[in-house]
Amino acid sequence: MCAAPVAHAFAREGIQLFRKADFGEYFDHWTIPEKIDAKRKIDDFGRDTRTISSVIVYPGVKATFYEDTGFRNAKITLYPGRYENLIDWNDRFASVILERIPDDLPLITLRFNDNHPQYLGFAGKDEFITDKSFLRVNGAVSIEIPDEYKVTLYSDPGYSGRSTSEPLDGGIHNMRTYGMKDDLSSLQIEWKKYKLRDTKLSSGKKLKDYPQEALSTHVRCDNLGSSATVTCSKDLTAEYASTYTTSWENSTSVGITSTTTVSVGVEVGVEGVASASSTLEQSIAIEIANEFSFGKSEEKSTSQSITDHVEVQLSPGQNVEFDMLVTPADYQYDVTYHYAPVDGNGPEKVIKGKITVRKATETTTKVRDVPRRQRVMSAP
């Protein structure tokens, strides 16, 4: 039995925003046009932007708030509920996207003593942290879990502290039973219908270089002694924001919108590579399985650290400089995801697509002597 996504305690539509906590000083009320699958985007609140401290999200609506205009940077997604104090998110909102929640999307329900429920759903990924910065957590008396999910409760943010000994299955659970009535700070949702079995990547094809985006790192080694040879060992590191985009075959994208959390224990195979060691491409493939909506082309970025280790013997009085140049390039990978129904009933899902990654993979390290007249007093 699924938790109903509509709370009878609510009587309005869309969202209401307030400048002060506890719904003080009304700001505005926005709704979605009466169209099937309609969205409404508000790119700039227009007046007194970044002065929102509490929000009411009414039934049938999902609101994704962004820190900056243009729907950029940090964001939070709020499902129906009363958010009386946004705490860390107070006065930070600049744009928002309102979407209708599909009628068949099961929502988890947290109930409180004041009879105002809080709903939780998938925000394009399969785990939802009920952090105290923007959700009601203290005082929850029960949680209603649809049959499609399993939920683990945690006493501290970030899936830490005390937790339920094993995930809770569908049904209504009393928070007091698990000692979480006043201590629930995060929870992890696992989608039970399908589970990712394995991921396969092609070996990749280079598409284009971007020398104009090259990064450089410079270090120096000096042997200031007069009689002994010394070893100079340095790590040259450059941080790069790697971007990646996806495209999917439409025929394979039906039926998978949220997936089970993937971290370890899932086979990630790379064609032409004997071992599935941790690589940027594999990490991205797993991140896509956790975060992307299959069938929808998207672009995201991830941090990449490039390190070259250099070592050289320096004669007495010798001085050298090292330069590492990192040149980004676009590589394209074919990727296939195999999903299997958890209960063994029904066909497997095979999702195929392409990942294009702009990554810093090509490095060049140069070593050159520094003439004595350029020597500086620096530690080796």
Quick: pLDDT tens for 302-320: 777 777 777 888 888 888 8
Pair (71, 200) in one structural domain: no
Q: Is residue 3 part of a domain?
A: no
**pLDDT cut 90: percent of the chain above it:** 6
Q: Which of 141, 163, 191 is at the close of a domain? A: 191
226 and 290 inside one domain = yes
Quick check: 157 pLDDT over 80?
A: no
For the cut 50, the answer to whether the pLDDT of residue 225 exceeds it is: yes
What was the pLDDT predicted at 372?
Answer: 61
- In which domain, by residue range, is 128 found? 15-191
Among 134, 163, 191, which residue terminates a domain? 191
- The pTM is what? 0.52
Cα-based torsion angle of the residue sequence 72, 75, 77, 78 in order, rounded to the nearest 10 degrees: -110
- Residue ending a domain, choose from 139, 159, 191: 191
Minimum mean pLDDT among 7-11, 49-53, 218-222, 250-254: which range?
A: 7-11
In a domain, 54, yes or no: yes
Q: What is the reported pLDDT for 144?
A: 93
> Tens of pLDDT along 171-218?
999 988 988 887 787 777 776 666 777 788 888 888 888 888 777 777
For residue 334, is pLDDT > 60? Answer: yes
Whether residues 218 and 367 share a domain: the answer is yes
138 and 218 housed in the same domain: no
CATH of the domain at 246: 2.170.15
Q: What confidence score (pLDDT) does residue 15 get?
A: 94
Same domain, yes or no: 88 and 161: yes
Alpha-helical regions (H) of 203-317:
280-291
Give just the sign of the alpha carbon dihedral 39, 44, 47, 50: positive
Q: Based on the domain organization, do 246 and 181 belong to the same domain?
A: no
pLDDT mean over 141-147:
89
Q: What CA–CA distance (Å, rounded) separates 191 from 55? A: 28
In a domain, 229, yes or no: yes
Predicted confidence (pLDDT) at residue 152 exceeds the cutoff of 90: no
* 345 and 200 inside one domain: yes
pLDDT averaged over every residue in the chain: 75
Q: Are residues 186 and 303 in the same domain?
A: no
Alpha-carbon distance of 122 to 105, in angstroms, equals 9
Percent of the chain with pLDDT over 70: 75
Count the Cβ atoms, other than its own, within 10 Å of residue 57: 24
Sheet with 118-120: list strands edge to edge.
118-120, 108-112, 140-145, 171-174
Whether residues 173 and 215 fall in one domain: no
Q: Is the pLDDT of residue 376 over 70?
A: no
Separation of alpha carbons 342 and 339, rounded Å: 9
Q: Out of 19-33, 201-215, 277-291, pick the least confident.
A: 277-291
**How many structural domains does the chain have?**
2
Q: Are 154 and 161 in contact (CB under 8 A)?
A: yes
Please check whether residues 231 and 98 belong to one and the same domain. no
**Any domain includes 380:** no
Q: What is the mean pLDDT of residues 256-262?
A: 39
